[in-house]
Amino acid sequence: MAKFRWLTAGESHGKGLSAIIEGIPAGLEISEDLIASDLSRRQGGYGRGKRQQIEQDRAEIVSGVRHGLSIGSPIALAMTNKDHQNANWRNRMSVEPINDVVEKTTLLRPGHADLVGTQKYGFDDVRPILERSSARETAARVAVGSVARALLRAIGIEIRSHTLSIGNVSAKAKTSIDWSLVEKSPVRVADKAVEQAMIQEIDIARTELDTLGGVFEIRASGLPMGLGSHVHWDLKLDGLIAQAIMSINAVKAVEIGEGIDNSFGKGSEVMDIILPKSAWELRKWERMSNRAGGLEAGITNGQDLIVRGFLKPISTVPQKMPTADLISGEETESFYERSDVCVVPAGGVVGEAMVAIVIANSVLEKFGGDSIIELTQNFENFQETVGPRG
């Protein structure tokens, strides 16, 4: 059974980030420029910090691609951290032992992995924990997700995201999204009427030395029926997607479809009625609505997948926060490293990558194939079987 497997490595201020991807069939068009476009989208968005002005993320394809096409072997990606070139970071994050005294970071930041990570691994310095737990790692995820998206596009699946809310400013719900408008928006919002209000909300938080959270929505279109499975808890696609979104830094809740509103309704009101053949327009087995967000019993039903990630305000705030010292346990104030004010627009791009990775794995499990030609043929053959059984 084919499987999309991947790993990332690297620390925020280390030499760089890297990733290994396994399972991509031979013959898929992949380029560094393709990956760079998604990495650029991740770095954008109003409210990002100065780190994004230092880094210009670009992933080098080290292996697994020849003449612009995958060759069926593992794909290795490497990204350099430009910030590491600073002499301070070269010393603090040196791979080799150094003679210089490096000051330990012992002020624990609330809301981070600092305390729990040091207790888990027995460190007397927060630096090894905060470097890996940093959201800088999501750049490698986006690079991996870009390869997954290329695979999905080969069978007509597209994944996009937009911002639903930032702080107390919310966009109006839209059935149809103008994605070109989203890509041009500094906050990646489809509702132009609230764009400036979102920007102002971010400006106020920056002035107050604070941060903002919000909600992003991911939509996947072109999905076939039958991805995922109902037979085991760990094969249900909704569970896998929820885990993937929850793994993104600062995401504390996930919603699929109208899951939250549905919990307040009655069963007869929230189900997606199956329409008869005479009412079908775009696809076989049309529905009257899509409250389930494209998933039933952990299996795709052919409708658009709709997933929302709820981001808490990031915990790296410029203002000093009361905390305790790792060594002494005594009261002190937290330290501050460069950070963003709001990452909701970028969070949506990371969410796209995570959903693409999960769906790519399900596509490989369902349709297999050692080459893109074989995979697409398997996909098309399955599509022919979808429909009434009479």
Q: How far apart are alpha carbons 361 and 152 in whole angstroms?
A: 10
Residue 278 lies in a domain: no
Per-residue pLDDT tens digits for 242-271: 999 999 999 999 999 999 999 999 999 999
In the numeric block, the tokens 């002494």 are attached to 328
Q: Angle at Cα 248 formed by Cα 244 and Cα 253, nearest 5°?
A: 80
pLDDT at position 134 is: 93
* Mean pLDDT computed over 362-368: 96
* Mean pLDDT computed over 343-355: 97
Nearest alpha carbon to residue 312 among 18, 111, 54, 20: 111
Which uninterrupted H or E stretch holds 142? Answer: helix 138-153
**The pLDDT of residue 75 is above 80:** yes
Q: How far apart are alpha carbons 34 and 143 in whole angstroms?
A: 9
Residue 273 lies in a domain: no
**The pLDDT of residue 52 is above 70:** no
Q: Give the neighbor-by-neighbor strand order of the sheet with 75-80.
A: 5-10, 16-22, 75-80, 60-63
First to last CA, the chain: 31
Residue 381 lies in a domain: yes
Predicted TM-score of the model (pTM) = 0.94
Q: How far apart are alpha carbons 158 and 144 in whole angstroms?
A: 16
Q: Residue 286's beta-bridge partner residues? A: none
pLDDT at position 296 is: 97
How many independent structural domains does the chain possess? 1
DSSP character for 189?
Answer: B
Cβ neighbours, 10 Å, residue 198: 30
pLDDT interval class at 49 (50, 70, 90) = low
CA atoms 274, 275, 281, 284: torsion sign: positive
**The pLDDT of residue 216 is above 60:** yes
**The pLDDT of residue 336 is above 90:** no
Residue 90 lies in a domain: yes
Residue 45 lies in a domain: yes
189 within 8 A of 195, measured Cβ to Cβ: yes
Q: Which amino acid is at 316?
A: T
pLDDT at position 1 is: 53
Q: Residue 69's beta-bridge partner residues? A: 29, 66
pLDDT interval class at 44 (50, 70, 90) = confident
44 within 8 A of 345, measured Cβ to Cβ: yes
* Mean pLDDT computed over 335-340: 78
Q: Report DSSP letters for 286-344, one per residue.
A: -BS--TTTTEETTEEESSPEEEEEEEPPPS--SS--EEEBTTT--EEE-------SB-H
What share of the chain has pLDDT > 70, as a percent? Answer: 97
Length of the chain: 390
- Expressed as residue numbers, the domain containing 96 is 5-257+292-385
pLDDT at position 337 is: 73
pLDDT at position 201 is: 96
For 128, 262, 327, the CA distances from 119, given in Å and listed in that order, are: 12, 40, 11
* Mean pLDDT computed over 87-112: 88
**The pLDDT of residue 54 is above 80:** no
More confident residue, 25 or 101: 25
CATH of the domain at 41: 3.60.150.10
12 within 8 A of 136, measured Cβ to Cβ: yes
pLDDT at position 364 is: 97
pLDDT interval class at 197 (50, 70, 90) = very high
**The pLDDT of residue 173 is above 70:** yes
Per-residue pLDDT tens digits for 270-308: 999 999 999 998 889 999 999 999 999 999 999 999 999
Lowest mean pLDDT, pick from 90-99, 129-138, 359-368: 90-99
Residue 71 lies in a domain: yes
Instruction: Write down the mean pLDDT value for the chain.
Output: 94
Residue 266 lies in a domain: no
Rg of the chain in Å (alpha carbons): 22
* Mean pLDDT computed over 218-246: 97
Q: In sequence order, which residues have a C-beta less than 8 Å from that of residue 318 and are 6 or more positions away?
A: 209, 210, 336, 339
Residue 265 lies in a domain: no
pLDDT at position 102 is: 87
Q: Which amino acid is at 302?
A: G
pLDDT at position 303 is: 96
